[in-house]
Amino acid sequence: MKKGFTLIELLAVIIILGIIALITFPVVNSSIKKSKEEALQRTIDAIRQASYEYSVNNDIGYPSIDAPSSLTLEELKNAGFIEKDLVNPVTDEKMSGCIWYYYDDNSKQYNFQYDEECS
């Protein structure tokens, strides 16, 4: 008598593995998406921190909330506050854009907001 698996047994194993893959794929996919979005948020926080350090080292004035000023990522890179081109972890494209900043008289501090399109 030959030893081995029948075609039905092999098909059953393949079907079970397929069901397991269908169940786990959405969970793994959502975890990957969430981690990429968190990485993007950390990158934006690093850009804000670089902008803050730029403002400490340079006299950037006191723009108001009604007329904010901006710094491009290229300016931050050229000034040495960003070391290299930043990549958006969600889209895997080079990040561009700028940081809009203004001085808040009420809190007596600068506010920095990243804008992908500088609009």
Question: Token pair of 41, please?
Answer: 């948020």
Query: Model pTM?
Result: 0.75
Tell me how long the chain is.
119
CA pair distance 1, 10, nearest whole angstrom: 19
pLDDT band at 10 (very low <50, low <70, confident <90, very high): very high
Query: Which DSSP symbol is given to 25?
Result: H
pLDDT band at 30 (very low <50, low <70, confident <90, very high): very high
Mean pLDDT of 92-114: 89
Mean pLDDT of 16-32: 94
- pLDDT tens column, 33-85: 999 999 999 999 999 999 989 988 888 888 888 888 888 999 999 999 998 88
Give yes or no for a contact between 104 and 65, defined as CB atoms under 8 angstroms apart.
Answer: yes
Mean pLDDT, rounded, of the chain: 90
- For residue 36, the surrounding DSSP H or E stretch is helix 7-57
